[in-house]
Amino acid sequence: MIVIGSEAIRKHGVLVERRKLDIDVVGEYDEIVEFAKQCGNIKACYPIDDGKKLVVKTDRIIVEGEITWEDSNAAQLRDLILNDPYTTYEKRPNGFVIPSLNLLYMLKMSHRYLRNSPHFLKTMRDIQMLRARGAKIEKSHEEFYQERMRVTYDYGHPKLDQSKKDFFSDDGIKYVYDHDSIHEAMKHLEKPAYNYYKPDENEVFCSKDLFFAAPEMVRLLGGLEESYVLALERSQIPFIGRWTPRRSFEFALMKVCTSITSGWFREYCWENYDKILDLYDDGYVDRFWRAVEAGEVKHFDVQQRVYG
């Protein structure tokens, strides 16, 4: 049985400091079920991800398997692993097939931006741990890596190269306050951080060149302020009191690092997640409401879908 994920990382002698709750494997449907039987008494068995994966719950552990249907991405992964000269095989009966650390790293990297994933931080910490061990994406894995990301991120992201009115017209959020005004309330410098890397000729689009030419603190504040605004618009304003400010922020920062947008800004925020988190101030919600009371935050005209 091909084992991937945290259990495979452990087989390389890497200390994964969390309780083992599941085992990720790759194989045929019957192979996965038979493997699960060796792990305990089966309590439940059901497909997920449109039948691409199989979850088998035992009384001891959960087995989640990618099913190697013909021409599937899982079948391609199986072939890549079995043909990789750095794959290792346990010699004991029913031993595991263990991919190389580089291949395991590539798999982790291929879904680090998966939206709304309950394993967001676990994936990030595993990637950081593998990098510390020198893991990298090999050229021979690059083609599969690109394909793996294509099938993983099978959904779109907001486009920044459009007008502000169009940008906010289809996201399903019932806006109460002007987005730019919220940014003003959350700013740490003379103007909101994004204004330091936004060309004048476009209302939403931000320049990669200007962003990376800006001081590091401006870049970090860009991620911080965007997360504050997102936490306010999608949690603290519409659902007052449901979540703590910290929880709203952490969820918003995860969204900034995964699915609110794509490209260089997302990658920067993901790579600097801990630095942005270190800048967090629990008083951002009170600061916002004080700005509302002072008349510094404008209202959003829902009927006309414009700011006023």
Domain edges within the chain = 2-152, 164-307
Each residue's pLDDT tens digit, 201-229: 556 678 899 999 999 999 999 999 999 99
The 8 Å CB, 24+ separation contacts for 207-212 are 208/263, 208/264, 211/264, 211/265, 211/268, 212/264
Distance CA 232, CA 135 (A): 38
Average pLDDT over the chain, rounded to whole?
Answer: 90
pLDDT surpasses 70 at 53: yes
Least confident of 14-28, 213-227, 236-250, 286-300: 14-28
- Cα–Cα distances (Å) from 131 to 8, 11, 258, in that order, read 16, 17, 20
Of the candidates 20, 35, 40, 17, the one whose C-alpha atom is nearest the C-alpha of residue 96 is 35
* Residues 26-45: tens digit of each pLDDT: 999 999 999 999 999 999 99
Q: Which of 148, 109, 113, 107 is nearest to 258 (CA)?
A: 113
pLDDT for position 92: 63
Rounded to the nearest angstrom, the gap between the alpha carbon of residue 115 and the centroid of all alpha carbons in its chain is: 5
Dihedral Cα 252, 254, 258, 260, nearest 10 deg: 0
Whole-angstrom Cα distance, residue 103 to residue 139?
A: 11
Token readout for 298 is 């404008």
Distance CA 211, CA 193 (A): 10
Give Dmax over CA atoms of the chain in angstroms. 72
* Predicted pLDDT at 203: 60
Report, as an integer, the average pLDDT of 2-16: 92
User: How does pLDDT run across 157-205, given as a tens digit for each residue?
Assistant: 655 444 445 444 445 567 789 999 999 999 999 999 999 998 875 566 7
d(C-alpha 237, C-alpha 239), whole Å:
6
When pLDDT is averaged across residues 59-64 and rounded to a whole number, the result is 96
H-helix or E-strand containing 107? helix 101-110
Q: Report how far residue 104's alpha carbon sits from residue 88's, in angstroms, rounded to the nearest whole number.
A: 12
CA-closest candidate to residue 56, choices 77, 98, 27:
27
Q: Chain centroid to CA 106: how far?
A: 15
The answer to whether 40 and 20 are in contact (CB under 8 A) is: no
Is 80 exceeded by the pLDDT of residue 308?
no
Q: Tens of pLDDT along 101-131?
A: 999 999 999 999 999 999 999 999 999 999 9
Task: Give residue 146's pLDDT band: very low, low, confident or very high (50, 70, 90).
Answer: very high
* pLDDT cut 70: percent of the chain above it: 89
Output the CATH code of domain 2-152: 3.30.460
- Beta carbons within 10 angstroms of residue 107's beta carbon: 24
Asked whether 122 and 166 are in contact (CB, 8 A), the reply is no
Among the residue ranges 261-265, 273-277, 285-289, the one predicted with the least confidence is 261-265
